[in-house]
Amino acid sequence: MKQRSLLQKCLAAPHMVWTVLFIIAPLLFVAYYAFTDSEGAFTFDNILKSLEADYMVIFFRSISLAIIATFICLIIAYPMAYAISRAKPSAQKIIIMLVMLPMWMNFLIRTYSWMSILEDTGFINQLLIKLGLEPVHMINTSGAVVLGMVYNFLPYMILPIYTVMVKIDRRLVEAAHDLGCNSFGVMTKVIFPLSISGVVSGVTMVFVPSISTFYISQKLGGGNFDLIGDTIERQFQTAYNYNLGAAISLILMVLIIISMAIMNKFSDEDGGMVV
Amino acid sequence: MTESNAGRIIELKNIRKSFDGETVLDGINLDIHDKEFVTFLGPSGCGKTTTLRIIAGFETPDFGEVFFDGAKINDLPPYKRQVNTVFQKYALFPHLNVYENVAFGLRLGKKLKEEEISRRVKDMLRMVNLSGFERRNVESLSGGQQQRVAIARALINHPRVLLLDEPLGALDLKLRKDMQNELKNIQMQTGITFIYVTHDQEEALSMSDVIVVMNEGVIQQIGTPTDIYNEPVNAFVADFIGESNILDGVMLEDYKAKFSNQTFDCLDKGFAKGEAVDIVVRPEDVDVVPVEKGMLSGIVTSVTFKGVHYEIIVDIGGFKWMIQTTDFVAQDEHIGLYIEPDAIHVMKKSKYSDQFGDYSSFSDELDELSVNTEEE
């Protein structure tokens, strides 16, 4: 093992301080609140309460909506990332900028815009009425919540997949063609296996914010589709039950860690990947 | 197959190709015969790799036709052609191990039993001396080993023609020599037509049955290595293949050439009386003799020891000759040169006349540099 020099230690110090102050310490606070009651006495009550049926329904809903949103993102992003990676380098830059463009706008504004688009008297329905069609109820449905997630988190799926794909050597594609692969074979036998790592990070980067989001469901779901994020927010902001809120957060964290571990398992398996 | 193209496996007819308005191939006509080892030789940007890629199917010609076994294949996609390619820098699949890389071509199309696949992959790996490497990750292999995997992978489908795009370019000199022999052996063993692209004239001379010398998108000469070396058609070929002194001369009559203000007997004929020509004399074909016995005489301006011989530069009337001799001569010595009639080769004037042949700006280092920066 190489001995680290004093300089290296000094350079690492700010990061260590940052980590301890803003990551480790808050985590310890969360754990402390989760395992104590309002008097500060040790208890499992909060954890047990979080696992009751009422909350399990919410957990289940959060997980399913997040999975659906992640899946839709993947379906949209994968071919798109492939197409971008095959475009001319100058065009690639522009398209990637366009992909990131919505991220320059505030998250709240974007979500509000979707409200006015999806409302019963919103943009889409007015258009339908003008065309002589029946208006469609869209706002405050689970579909609207998923749409909000997909819209907001899609760039996080496109970018990592694109980054991996653009690095795939064109010669590998030619080699596969040369050895007898048609275009479909090239996709399944070369491009897809080589882009797994991008898919894994994309899925993680969409799934994690989707499962913990709270704002999208409130605005586009009209409060009918409480997610874990909403529940946690309510415990802290409205019910002032920090202990329960912390316990639910802790369980959410465990859930996320488990799902990330599963995803990483996929990317570790080298070769012969079939998903 | 008609009588006229018997034995021809690939025919290129008037192939033209340009990229972004820049002409890369300017009317390539070429027949390649079955079971031959053919080398496309030329400097960077001469169009040799593009020609190879057109045969492989990665590029389509703008004009002209490509025939395979007498059938036109211009629009046939690469995966339907009976040719396989060994790529520059190998292009092995990083997500597959050695075994799976080699088996890749077998797993496509018709289903083969796993035992059959295993048997053929093992045979192939034995042929390229990589038995026991089946489970290795391709990225953990050395350059030479990766090269062998690439060859095995390309040969497993028994192609009619194997295309090799500067396959040894990334290997060091010693390994390159070994691989040259091995490739030649594999070619003879399998009886597959090899089309080999290189900018290394030594490699081309030692491996090929036929060399196609290219420059600026045009075929300069097609011939056996001895033909190309002994009877270059123009100054470009003479200069590119081996070392040569290329001088302005005049054909006085058949078998009489005049250059360096002297008249020499030679073996060439068929030129007009008094026609201006280029004269090639190879450095190893000139004998160093005492001044009084020489046909020409001059001052030695530099002497370099090369191991087997000395390479000396001799100034004769302002033209710097390169001469290879096993006898030591000192710098600034006044020496005579003797040239046998069969050492003189006469060429028609071409657009390459006057561009090559004088060694006043000669430097081995420059040659090395231009080779190392080669990137097509």
Three-state secondary structure readout of chain B: CCHHHCCEEEEEEEEEEEECCEEEEEEEEEEEECCCEEEEECCCCCCHHHHHHHHHCCCCCCEEEEEECCEECCCCCHHHCCEEEEECCECCCCCCEHHHHHHHHHHCCCCCCHHHHHHHHHHHHHHCCCCCCCCCEHHHCCHHHHHHHHHHHHHCCCCCEEEEECCCCCCCHHHHHHHHHHHHHHHHHHCCEEEEEECCHHHHHHHCCEEEEEECCEEEEEECHHHHHHCCCCHHHHHHCCCCEEEEEEEEECCEEEECCEEEECCCCCCCCCEEEEEEECHHHEEEECHHHCCEEEEEEEEEECCCCEEEEEEECCEEEEEEECCCCCCCCEEEEEECHHHEEEEECCCCCCCCCCCCCCCHHHHHHHHHCCCC
Question: What is the least distance, in Å, from the CA of A197 to any CA of chain B?
Answer: 11
**B154 interfacial to chain A (CB closer than 8 Å):** yes
Tell me, yes or no, whether A189 lies in a domain: yes
Task: For chains A and B, count residue pairs whose Cβ atoms are closer than 8 Å.
Answer: 64
A216: domain CATH number is 1.10.3720.10
CB contact under 8 A, A179 and B87: no
Number of folded domains that form chain A: 1
Residue B362 confidence (pLDDT): 54
Tell me, yes or no, whether A249 lies in a domain: yes
**B144 interfacial to chain A (CB closer than 8 Å):** no
Q: Which of B92, B97, B108 sits opposite A180 (nearest CB)?
A: B108
Tokens representing B345 are: 């080769």
Question: What is the least distance, in Å, from the CA of A164 to any CA of chain B?
Answer: 13
CB contact under 8 A, B91 and A174: yes
CB contact under 8 A, A189 and B78: no
Tell me, yes or no, whether A25 lies in a domain: no
B201, B238 in Cβ contact below 8 A?
Answer: no
Residue B360 confidence (pLDDT): 65
* Domains in chain B: ranges and CATH: 3-230 (3.40.50.300), 235-372 (2.40.50.140)
Tell me, yes or no, whether A6 lies in a domain: no
Q: What residues of B are in contact with residue A181 (Cβ under 8 Å)?
A: 79, 108
Residue type, A60: F
Q: Mean pLDDT of successive 10-residue segments in chain B (376 residues)?
A: 64 94 94 95 93 95 94 93 92 94 89 91 92 92 92 93 90 87 91 94 93 95 94 92 90 91 90 91 92 91 90 90 90 92 92 78 50 45
Residue type, B102: V
CB contact under 8 A, B79 and A169: no
Task: Using alpha carbons, select from B12, B9, B17, B27 the residue that is nearest to residue B60.
Answer: B17
Give the nearest chain A residue to B77 (CA atoms): A177
Q: Which residues of chain A have pLDDT under 50?
A: 1, 270-275
- Residues whose CB falls within 8 Å of the CB of residue B131, separated by 6 or more in sequence, listed in order: B122, B125
Residue B242 confidence (pLDDT): 86
CB contact under 8 A, A174 and B96: no
**What is the ipTM score, two decimals?**
0.81
Tell me, yes or no, whether A182 lies in a domain: yes
A52 exposed, middle or buried (CB, 10 Å; 0-12, 13-18, 19+)? exposed
Q: Which of B78, B95, B100 sits opposite A178 (nearest CB)?
A: B78
CB contact under 8 A, B105 and A179: yes
Question: What is the least distance, in Å, from the CA of A200 to any CA of chain B?
Answer: 16
Tell me, yes or no, whether A131 lies in a domain: yes
Q: Which domain holds residue A123?
A: 53-268
Question: What is the least distance, in Å, from the CA of A72 to any CA of chain B?
Answer: 27
CB contact under 8 A, B87 and A175: yes
Tell me, yes or no, whether A213 lies in a domain: yes
CB contact under 8 A, B93 and A172: yes
Tell me, yes or no, whether A93 lies in a domain: yes
